[in-house]
Amino acid sequence: MIKKLEEISAQALRDLEAASTLEALEQVRISVLGKKGTLSDVLKTLGSVPAAERPAIGAAANEWKRKIEAAIETRKASLENAVLQAQLERDRVDISLPSRLPHRGSLHPITQTTRKIIEVFSRIGFDVVTGPEVETDFLNFEAVNIPADHPARDMQDTFFMGPGVVLRTHTSAVQMRTMRNQSWPLRILAPGAVYRNDSDATHSPMFHQVEGLWVDRDVKMSDLKGTLLFFAREMFGADAKIRLRPSYFPFVEPGAEVDVSCFLCRSKISDSCRVCKGTGWLEILGAGMVHPRLFEMAGYSEAVRSGALTGYAFGMGVDRIAMLLHGIPDLRLMFQSDVRFLKQF
Ligand code: DAH
């Protein structure tokens, strides 16, 4: 019987070693030590053994049982460890991988262009001022020498908010606001949104301008030209040129339209240039010497009479400059909030 116990136990130990999963190990345990297990079966026949031999067989059986149980524990621990290792390997986090960058938006091309314009002029002493978008008819028109019958006041162009109140049609209104609130000398830049009842690929009912104004003694047309040339070079490249074409704006005399040489074809006139369309020049702003009527409206008459108080003014369309710089074909793209468009800037 001892021999039988030995055989069963040796087989059990071999089976334990061969069990490759926790489930298989449990099966082996049941098949040997379970109620109907091989070891238990042998012990059930103990009654047929002579009484004198029983203690020795019982002791041997207990010894084998203890050995098998110990072997099961050892095997179990090593299988559990293997399961844990496999799990750790599977759930492994590679901490050396670069992290996902947080999503950052970007500034709208119009904001970028406005900031660039402000940056250029602030380097030569211009201060930024702002005015309201809902403006009086008086400051938007009357005070900048646009008489009541001027076509700019036509229902087609101006959004009227109520009697005597309009959405400003240009930032020139800020010139008068500032002059009526502050004394000269003045060197200001007024960026902001303006409104006109107009809409197509190059016109939007809301667009953006930057107005400039310098009022002091002895400001000359050549100062205006020098300032604008400096601006053109900073904005469009060091070899940019400008030209002034005589033009009419009610708030300046003389007045001019200002062109900058095409920054794409560098004025090497060719029909195929998509920016200047072969003209070599891009119209970017209006400018001139402040009309004496504006000084009168501002309450500067005394200074004008007693000395040589003069000034220049200019106004430019930011949206148009941004379109030229980035080759944007349709102004409406700017205001549709399409991320695919905005992402490019
Ligand atoms: N206010 C004009 C416009 O909206 C632009 C302009 C032209 C402004 C000449 C000026 C200027 O200050 O001198 O079209």
Q: Which residues contact 301 (CB under 8 A, 6 or more apart)?
A: 295
Angstrom distances, CA of residue 85 to CA of 78, 96, 97, 207, 256: 10, 21, 22, 65, 81
Does this model's pTM top 0.95? My answer is no
Which of 168, 206, 251, 253 is the best mutation target for the ligand 1 pocket, counting ligand atoms within 8 Å of the beta carbon and taking the most? 251
* Residue-level pLDDT at 156: 65
DSSP 344: T
Of 127, 130, 231, 144, the closest CA to residue 188 belongs to 127
CA distance 23 to 55: 35
* 3-state SS, residue 316: strand
- Contact of 139 with 200, CB cutoff 8 Å: no
CA distance 301 to 318: 33
What six digits make up the tokens of 298? Answer: 């501002």
- Contact of 211 with 172, CB cutoff 8 Å: yes
* Residue-level pLDDT at 205: 93
Take atom 8 of ligand 1 and give the residue whose Cα is closest: 315
Instruction: Give the HSE-up count for residue 45: Cα atoms under 13 Å, Cβ half-sphere.
Output: 9
* 3-state SS, residue 192: strand
Ligand 1 centroid to residue 26 C-alpha, Å: 92
- The CB of 287 under 6 Å from ligand 1? The reply is yes
Take atom 4 of ligand 1 and give the residue whose Cα is closest: 170
Ligand 1 centroid to residue 258 C-alpha, Å: 11
- pLDDT tens by residue, the chain, 345 residues: 888 888 888 888 888 888 888 888 889 889 888 888 888 888 788 888 888 888 888 888 888 889 888 988 999 999 899 999 999 999 988 889 888 888 888 899 999 999 999 999 999 999 999 999 999 999 999 999 998 888 767 766 899 999 999 999 999 999 999 999 999 899 999 999 999 998 888 889 999 999 999 999 999 999 999 999 999 999 999 999 999 999 999 999 999 999 999 887 776 666 678 778 888 888 999 999 999 999 999 999 888 888 789 999 999 999 999 998 888 888 889 999 998 999 888
Ligand 1 centroid to residue 240 C-alpha, Å: 22
Ligand 1 centroid to residue 170 C-alpha, Å: 7
CATH fold of 109-342 reads BirA Bifunctional Protein; domain 2 (3.30.930)
Of 311, 259, 257, the closest CA to residue 289 belongs to 311
Maximum CA extent, the chain: 144
- The CB of 170 under 6 Å from ligand 1? The reply is yes
Of 145, 238, 139, the closest CA to residue 181 belongs to 139
DSSP 181: H
CA distance 121 to 108: 20
Take atom 13 of ligand 1 and give the residue whose Cα is closest: 287
* Residue-level pLDDT at 252: 96
- The CB of 317 under 6 Å from ligand 1? The reply is no
Burial annotation 198-232 (CB, 10 A radius, 16+ → b, else e)? eeeeeebeebbbbbbbbbeeebeeebbbebbebbb
DSSP 203: B
Cross-strand bridge partners of residue 170: none
Which of 172, 174, 223, 294 is the best mutation target for the ligand 1 pocket, counting ligand atoms within 8 Å of the beta carbon and taking the most? 172
* 3-state SS, residue 29: helix
* Residue-level pLDDT at 172: 96
